[in-house]
Chains A and B, each alone.
Chain A
Amino acid sequence: MSRHRIKDVDYDDDDFYDDDDELADPEEQEFLQQCTTAVLQQLRAGQPSVTATKEEVQDALWHYYNDIDKSVNYLRGKREKEAAKLQKSKIQPGLPVPAYPAPPSTAHFSAADFFRDCPWLNIPSHRKSEILIEPLYPRLGLLGGAPENGGKLSKLAALAAARKKKEGEKAPSLSETPTPSTPKLEQPTPLDHSGTSRSLRDRLAASGRSTPKAPEGPGSLRRLATPSASSHPIPKRPEAETKRPSVPELSGSMQRVVLEAKEEPEPQQTMPTIRASPSTFASTIVGAATGPTAAEPSHLHSTSSDLLRIYGQDHAEPFDFAAPSPDDVVLNAQNAAKGMKSKSAATKSAAVKKGQSDLADGVKELSVEDKVTVKSKNLDVISEYKKSTRKRSANFVVIGHVDAGKSTLMGRLLADQGAIDQRTLDRYRREAEKIGKGSFALAWVLDQGSEERARGVTIDIATNQFETDKTAFTIVDAPGHRDFVPNMIAGASQADFAVLVIDSSVGSFESGLKGQTKEHALLVRSMGVQKIVVAVNKMDTVQWDRERFEEIEQQISAFLTTAGFQDSNISFVPCSGVLGDNISRRTNDPHASWYKGHTLIEELETSEPYTHALEKPLRMTIGDVFRGGVQSPLSISGRIDAGSLQMGDHILIMPSGETATVRSLEVDSQPSDWAVAGQNVVLNIANIDPIHLRSGDVVCRPSSPIPTITSFTAKVLAFEHLMPMQVDVHRGRLHVPGRISKLVASLDKASGAAIKKRPKIVGPGVVVRVVVEMDQAVPLEAPTRVVLRAGGSTVAAGLLE
């Protein structure tokens, strides 16, 4: 376009030179003629000579600005390229590499043909890579199988369809030139398309079409394959025999058969069908309809004997698999027997009904486990207890700051009272010295755990018994370390009174006062302990300094009084656990001559007998669950808080709600038939799975179960600042996470009247009524002492309301 515009403007004469066709400029044309003839001459003269049309030459000249040499070179090069291309295209059809191999000319494709090119097994290594056999048939087309009319074609499918259509147009031209040598046999359809990928569906459709109209030669493959022609396989290739002698035959004998077959026009008549009638066995399965013409006799018996007749079952019907199998019959019968209810017996007579309901009950009671039935002696436990001449028993818990010498003091007590024999003590002493902790030897009497011994601290409570002339004592040795206060609470809950051990050595007492001495004292008081014996330990380290003792006495008694202990229930004993002075014997140390009071053991014995709620319903907190031995596979230990218990009793474990039977029981390690509140017992129980038992669970009677609750109101004494906060609720062994949801009111200590309703926060030392909620249901009931702890310290303790 732009060219024309320029032309119209007539801007420059040079513009006309390229439009020589249109311009009939005679000069230009003549020049062009001259150049053309020159080029053609040069082309013809060159080696090899090349011909070109006039138009081509003039084109070239125009492009090369009438440069003759350049035009000649260009035309020569062009001709050479064309020649090379032509040669290539001439060679291509001659190459014997079709996309698919030519269809085999025989009807049946023989294995021999297939492997003709392949030396079997002795393949030279250099040829191994070349024997890749081309797929015989067109592969299944991945594309082009999309529905023709239904649904929208995907792009890919559309592309494939277009390709298919294009190739379909080509295909007729190819197939119109059949090779005359090919026999006019109906080939399996996939074979007659060379290089045309076709969908599976097409092929199936094509073969389906071709089947009926297949021009069947006498031995065509189709005919054999067609089910209607139930012929023997042998006479299949007479035609192959005649037409293609190069096709190898099976063997000589087979050839003979083939020839015979050829002679007979209808091979089906002479060749027996290889379809057999069912054997005796098969006819039992298949049924009589297709039964054998003559029953095949068993090889074990003579002709006359029929296997079924032997067993008198000639009326036997074939099993048709529709009915339930013999296994099913048995299983159904068993299930029916198990599931039989008295309902089914309702129509029967009364006697039958009774018998069946008995059976049903019996079946109901059946279980995999063996029920243990323990015969109860039906004792009147309370009167038995009153009759018994058992010694007075007392539990006391030993509390105090860590390393105050609690375990050592108790070890000494036990050793002096003969509860531990001298040999054991000597062994402990040796072993303790071996690891360099000679002073811990006595503590090892109670600290049995390997970790406790290695660390030299008590971790869990340990109980031990010893007896004096008047009383049977149970020691509960509590850990002093602040990390194990929960264990100490568990121990304190079992105690009637407490022994507070105080380290009198310089510095230790003061640190203890700040530490667990106070906390423990507060805890035991809030757990309901009334009486406390203060053992001022390690007096030997301060040379039995009377002033030191009195200073401690003063401080501690002042504290204990504020904690709620009555003066009459507080007593002080200066002693030395390691030496044993003033424990069970008076000290010989002259420095201690000032002390005229009781020894520790005498002080313990002054405790008056404790009354327990024997008449109340049974309550016992499980302290430990263990395997007692072969005789008693499952045992629980603990202290009976209230009520009584005897052998054979059924008990209920809360919160799991499972019942169990008391197989036998031990009181203070002695077998007994009964136990009452206040006693430490081991119950050997049965008929319960151990997973329902945890320490902290409560044992009660099924008739009066302890309620499990998730929230309670308690009147507590605050040790720290209290506000709605997360706390741990402790009761004996039991401790569960919970939270103070509400501070109801702060109360007057003496009267219990409300001072301030709904305080937001209360300080230490204030009695307050709180509502505590817990995440899980916990067995708790009204007069229970609970301790609330948070962040590793005791924040409050009090009474559940």
Chain B
Amino acid sequence: MADRRRINGPPGGTRPPVFASLQESSTDIANRAQRQRQPTELRKIFLKAGLIPTASGSSYLEFEPSASLAAARSNPKSLIPPSSALKLACTVHGPKPLPRSAAFSPNLVLTTHVKYAPFAARKRKGHIRDASERDLGVHLETALRGAIIAERWPKSGLDITLTIIEAEDDRWWGDAPDSHDASWGMMNVLAGCITAASAAIADAHIDCLDLVSGGVAALVSDDSSQSASSAPRLMLDIDPAEHRSILSACVVAYMPARDEITELWLKGDSSRAALDRNDGRTGHEALIDGAVDAARGANTVLAEAVRESIARSFA
């Protein structure tokens, strides 16, 4: 039956046409988002736990809009925003008894659902979770399972639902797809999901080994000229719309107090990383270290948000 209660958007994507000549023009180059942060500087994160009283735990997370997005919002030149900033909400229901039909489980059964809102990305998403969303759910489950002390709740289930309200772009909207393209935005989304879910789990008072937070690092090559100096550089917390080409990226879910990684996702070719001369690490190792650094940064916000929510619950 058609959904008649809401005014639905068009079923497919509605991107305005972009002409090749326009892309080449210099004006458009100016419109292009540019990273104005330091390579190791993270975007600010807004995170608040305990918003939804009907859920046992909840959180809301958003990234600060990048400088170019903020500029475009204050002084719009185009109807199309240059980039997007992650916004997501997480709810945790449980621990609750497993249904009668479920098999016995001595541990807490973790179920993660990651769903993009239909309007979250530039290309509309359907109401049914697609492969990428299910993939994110699996990654998230892996990340959280390492942190939750599951054996304290036998025969129980925990449902973690994440709604992506605004997703990260995979590349700048005006770029034509090229060979380096992958769903880079998904990695930022996963990092956000991990941090938000961790806050929501803490808000639900579920025992964890540590607050697990997500971080992203990437190897990007921004220069269009193919000179020797344009070897890919390591950047923390990338906004994919701000970079011309992302060669590889890495997400980790990291528990700082234990110095443990519960989830590691590497993507792309990291063999051409330009590291310091006396840096003995390979590109992968540098990526992982960078992602861990980013996760540590996110953890400061996470810890503060959790502390606030706990204080509120005791107030």
- Binding between chains A and B: yes
Q: Which of B51, B258, B294, B304 contacts A233 (CB 8 A)?
A: B294
Are B279 and A227 in contact, with the CB atoms below 8 A?
no
- Among A105-113, A381-389, A419-427, A706-714, the one that faces the other chain is A105-113
On chain B, the residues within 8 Å of A282 by CB distance are 46, 48, 60, 62, 87
Other-chain contact of A285, B39, B51, B274, B275 (Cβ < 8 Å): B51
**From A257, A277, A279, A327, residue with most partner B Cβ within 10 Å:** A279
Does the CB pair B48–A233 fall under 8 Å?
Answer: no
Does A722 make an interface contact (CB < 8 A)? no
Assess whether B46 is in contact with A277, with CB atoms less than 8 Å apart.
yes
Partner pick for B299 among A222, A225, A285, CB 8 A cutoff: A225
A256, chain B: closest CB distance, angstroms = 10
Is A300 located at the chain interface by the 8 A CB criterion? yes
Given known contacts A200-B149, A253-B38, A255-B276, A298 and B60 CB-to-CB distance under 8 angstroms: no
Residues of A within 8 A of B69 (CB): 299
Contact indicator A274/B44 (Cβ below 8 Å): yes
A232 within 8 A of partner (CB): yes
Supposing A200-B149, A273-B300 touch, asked if A249 and B46 sit within 8 A by C-beta, the answer is no
Interface status of B174 (Cβ within 8 A of chain A) = no
Q: Quick check: A115 and B40 within 8 Å, CB to CB? A: no
B276 touches A233 (CB 8 A): no
B99 at the interface (CB under 8 A from A): no
How many A-B residue pairs have C-beta atoms within 8 angstroms? Tell me: 178
CB-CB under 8 A from B300, the residues of chain A are 227, 229-231, 233, 273-275
Once the chains bind, are B40 and A253 in contact (CB under 8 Å)? yes
How distant is A128 from chain B, measured CB to nearest CB, in Å? Answer: 18
Interface flag for B45 (CB, 8 Å): yes
* Pairwise interchain contact A303-B74, C-beta atoms closer than 8 A: yes
Q: A297 within 8 Å of B by Cβ?
A: yes
Q: Is A286 in contact with B275, judged by CB distance below 8 angstroms?
A: no
Query: In the complex, what residue of chain B is closest to A110 when comparing beta carbons?
Result: B289
A250 with B293: CB separation less than 8 A: yes
Q: Do residues B285 and A112 form an inter-chain contact, with CB atoms below 8 A?
A: yes
Q: Does A275 contact B284, Cβ atoms closer than 8 Å?
A: no
Q: Is B134 an interface residue (CB 8 A)?
A: no
- The smallest beta-carbon distance between B270 and chain A, in angstroms, is 9
Query: How many B residues are at the interface, by size bracket?
Result: 35 or more
Interface residue from A115, A279, A281 paired with B284 (Cβ < 8 Å): A115
Residue interface mask B35-74, A partner, CB < 8 A = 1: 0001110111111100111100000101111000110111
- Cα separation A320 to B48 with both chains bound (whole Å): 14
Partner of B296, one of A111, A233, A286: A233
B257 at the interface (CB under 8 A from A): yes
- Neighbour of A276 across the interface among B44, B234, B257, B276, CB < 8 A: B44
For residues 76 through 124 of chain A, which have their beta carbon under 8 Å from a beta carbon of chain B? 108-112, 115, 120
Query: When the two chains form their complex, are residues A278 and B62 in contact, meaning their CB atoms are under 8 A apart?
Result: yes
A115 touches B285 (CB 8 A): yes
B residues less than 8 Å from A248 (CB atoms): 275-276, 278-281, 285-286
A297 to B64, CA, bound (A): 13
A11 proximal to B (CB < 8 A): no
Contacts of A330 in B (CB 8 A): 5
18 contacts between A and B (CB under 8 A): A110-B285, A112-B289, A207-B257, A227-B304, A227-B306, A232-B297, A233-B42, A233-B297, A250-B234, A250-B290, A253-B39, A273-B301, A276-B43, A279-B87, A282-B46, A299-B69, A300-B76, A321-B53
**Chain B residues engaging chain A, CB cutoff 8 angstroms:** 5, 38-40, 42-48, 51-54, 60, 62-65, 69-70, 72-76, 79, 81, 85, 87, 89, 149, 165, 209, 233-234, 256-259, 274-276, 278-282, 284-286, 288-290, 292-294, 296-301, 303-304, 306-307
